Amino acid sequence: MLTRIHVTSFRWIDLLTLTLWQHTYIQWANGSGKTHVLDAIHLLSGSRPLYGNSSLSVGTLFEGFFEHDWLERSYRLYHDDKREFFSLQGTKTTRPKYMTALPWRTVYISPFDMNLLYFAPLMRRDTMDLTLARTYEQFARVKKDYELVMRERNALLKKIREWEASRDMLDFWDKKFSELAETYLLYRTKYISYIEVSLSEHPAFFSKYPIIFSYTSSVDAYRIESGLVGDSDSVVILSYLRERRERDILSGHTHIGPHRDDWGFSILQYQDTQNSTPESSIPAETYLSRWEMKMLLLGYKMIEASFIEKILDIPVILLIDDIFAELDERNSEVFLNSLRTHQIILTSQKPLPNHEKHHDFICINLEDS
């Protein structure tokens, strides 16, 4: 369990030390620094907020104390005038070694997440990739290499369009791109499969309607169109790049791969209650009410937490930022009751729902800190 957090020179927090419990509740008004505390814990955990500025200023320091088997160890992130430094028990170390030794991860749940299905596809792709980066050590390198090769290929496409390079030069980059895209998609497929299986394990969030997780794959779309059903992703992508080469040259962009994909949730539509085969599906955001959408996305965040916990076999701390303004009291209670096995650090302007199960939350009032 994360027992203490120390924050120095972060946004408008000059100096703050908080003692944390299994269930910690931080309450105060807007602008009091509640969100900054959660951001600090998230950054200390090796992640970054999906929304907002995650850059650190000179002198920013986070230090967390984590207790396991009655021993408390120190984990520190510090930023000087050039870059970030990590340390374990006061000894400086590299980021990879720090992440390997870190005995917890975090999942951040904010009001922004409640609108995720209304955002551009880029935001949803980034959400999925951030989860993968915190779960698989190698994923960040795979994504970085993929994006580098794509930029090189796109630059070459533009040179060919301007008659500054030969089309034959694309052969090398097409092969490299297709191989990296296949590896990239293997990671996404692991997470997608886990989400699909896990929907039934969270009935409080997904049981009211016949909901499915839908991943829109540019590779699968071309696979079906071209009849390459039994071929690997790399073969399908390479076939596309060769067949649609002229289109890519004219536009200067690569039109297939994980950077073109999207995901969401859909509601299955049946002709009648006796028919077990759905006739169609419609996007959840066009069918569900606002509060139903919020509960669905809270369920998605719970699946994210269980995925990280299962793969890494370490606890996940839930950071919950002021979402109770988004939910009525009944759904707030349903959500809180689903979290009990996690360490929880949540913030809100208003008190928790009046329920006996929530009496174990220790309240911190930032006005007194």
Sequence-ordered list of residues with C-beta below 8 angstroms from that of 204, at least 6 positions apart, any chain: 295, 299, 334, 335, 337, 338
Domain assignment present for 45 = yes
- pLDDT of the residue at 349: 76
Sequence-ordered list of residues with C-beta below 8 angstroms from that of 160, at least 6 positions apart, any chain: 166, 167, 169, 170, 249
Among candidate residues 342, 154, 366, the one with its CA nearest the CA of residue 245:
154
Q: Among residues 268, 286, 304, which one ends one of the domains?
A: 286
Quick one: 280 and 131 in the same domain? Answer: yes
Quick one: 30 and 69 in the same domain? Answer: yes
Residue 360 to residue 259: CA distance in whole angstroms: 44
Q: What is the CATH number of the domain that holds 334?
A: 3.40.50.300
pLDDT of 325 over the 80 cut: no
Among candidate residues 204, 193, 360, the one with its CA nearest the CA of residue 294:
204
Domain assignment present for 291 = no
Quick one: 92 and 200 in the same domain? Answer: no
In a 13 Å sphere around the CA of 105, the CA atoms on its Cβ side amount to 24
- Considering 50-54, 93-97, 259-263, the range whose residues carry the highest mean pLDDT is 259-263
Give the pTM.
0.91
Arithmetic mean of pLDDT, 127-137: 94
φ/ψ bin of 263: left (φ > 0), alpha (ψ from -120 to 50), beta (otherwise): beta
Residue 37 to residue 51: CA distance in whole angstroms: 15
Number of other CB atoms surrounding residue 22 within 10 Å: 16
Q: What is the CATH number of the domain that holds 161?
A: 1.20.1050.90
Q: Locate tokens 């990239």: which residue? A: 184
Among candidate residues 285, 328, 338, 332, the one with its CA nearest the CA of residue 124:
285
More confident residue, 11 or 176: 176
Written as six digits, the tokens of 87 are 């340390």
pLDDT of 356 over the 60 cut: no
Quick one: 254 and 127 in the same domain? Answer: yes
- pLDDT of the residue at 182: 98
pLDDT of 355 over the 90 cut: no
Which tens digit of pLDDT belongs to each residue from 283-319?
999 999 888 899 999 999 999 999 999 999 999 999 9
More confident residue, 249 or 56: 249
Quick one: 98 and 130 in the same domain? Answer: no
- pLDDT of the residue at 334: 82
- pLDDT of the residue at 352: 67
User: What is the enclosing helix (H) or strand (E) of 134?
Assistant: helix 121-135
Residue 263 to residue 124: CA distance in whole angstroms: 7
Domain assignment present for 135 = yes
Quick one: 190 and 337 in the same domain? Answer: no
Q: Among residues 286, 302, 337, which one ends one of the domains?
A: 286
Which tens digit of pLDDT belongs to each residue from 70-101?
889 999 999 987 788 999 998 999 998 999 99
Domain assignment present for 115 = no
Cα dihedral sign, 361-308-137-42 = negative
More confident residue, 30 or 97: 97
Quick one: 345 and 259 in the same domain? Answer: no
Residue 68 to residue 317: CA distance in whole angstroms: 14
Domain assignment present for 112 = no
- What is the DSSP secondary structure assignment for residue 369, as one 8-state letter? -
Quick one: 97 and 124 in the same domain? Answer: no
Domain assignment present for 293 = no
φ and ψ of 20, to 5 deg: -115, 155
Residue 174 to residue 349: CA distance in whole angstroms: 53
Q: What is the count of structural domains for the chain?
A: 2
Domain assignment present for 113 = no
Window from 187-191, 311-315, 353-357 with minimum mean pLDDT: 353-357
Among candidate residues 104, 114, 135, 131, the one with its CA nearest the CA of residue 317:
104
Quick one: 44 and 160 in the same domain? Answer: no
Q: Quick one: how far is CA 252 from the chain centroid?
A: 30
Q: How confident is the model at residue 29 (pLDDT cuts 50, 70, 90)?
A: low
- pLDDT of the residue at 48: 83
Q: Among residues 267, 286, 305, which one ends one of the domains?
A: 286
Quick one: 33 and 151 in the same domain? Answer: no
Quick one: 126 and 6 in the same domain? Answer: no
- Provide the pairing of β-strand 280-283 with 262-269: antiparallel
Quick one: 240 and 184 in the same domain? Answer: yes
Residue 268 to residue 283: CA distance in whole angstroms: 9
Domain assignment present for 296 = no
What is the overall mean pLDDT for the chain? Answer: 90
pLDDT of 369 over the 60 cut: no
Question: Do 314 and 104 form a contact (C-beta atoms < 8 A)?
Answer: yes
Structural domain boundaries, residue 160? 120-286
